[in-house]
Amino acid sequence: DHQKTVQLLEWEIGSGQDADLQHFASETLPTVLEHLQLARDIKAELASQAIADATSAPTKQ
C-alpha cells in the first residue's frame, strides 16, 4: 500500500491540477517514503530470521 501511495503522491505532484493537493502531496511524500523503507527493512529482517531459523532447526532422522 505504501508503494501505491508513493505513486499517487508522485503523480499528484507532477500532474495534479489542484495547488493545495500538490502541496499536500509534496509535504506527505517524504513520510510515506520513510514508512516504505521501514516496512522493507522489517520484511528483510523477518526473512533473514526465518532463513536462520530454518537452517538451525534440528533435522529428524
Q: What is the mean pLDDT of the chain?
A: 93
Is the distance from CB of 22 to CB of 56 less than 8 angstroms? Answer: no
When pLDDT is cut at 50, 70 and 90, the band that residue 52 belongs to is: confident
In order of 3, 10, 25, 28, 47, the CA distances from 42 in angstroms are 15, 24, 25, 22, 9
pLDDT tens for each residue of 7-25: 999 999 999 999 999 999 9
Rounded to whole angstroms, the Cα distance separating 26 from 13 reads 6
Give dist(CA 13, CA 19) in Å, integer.
9
Q: How far apart are CA 44 and CA 61, in angstroms?
A: 31
Structural domain boundaries of the chain? 2-55
pTM of the model: 0.77
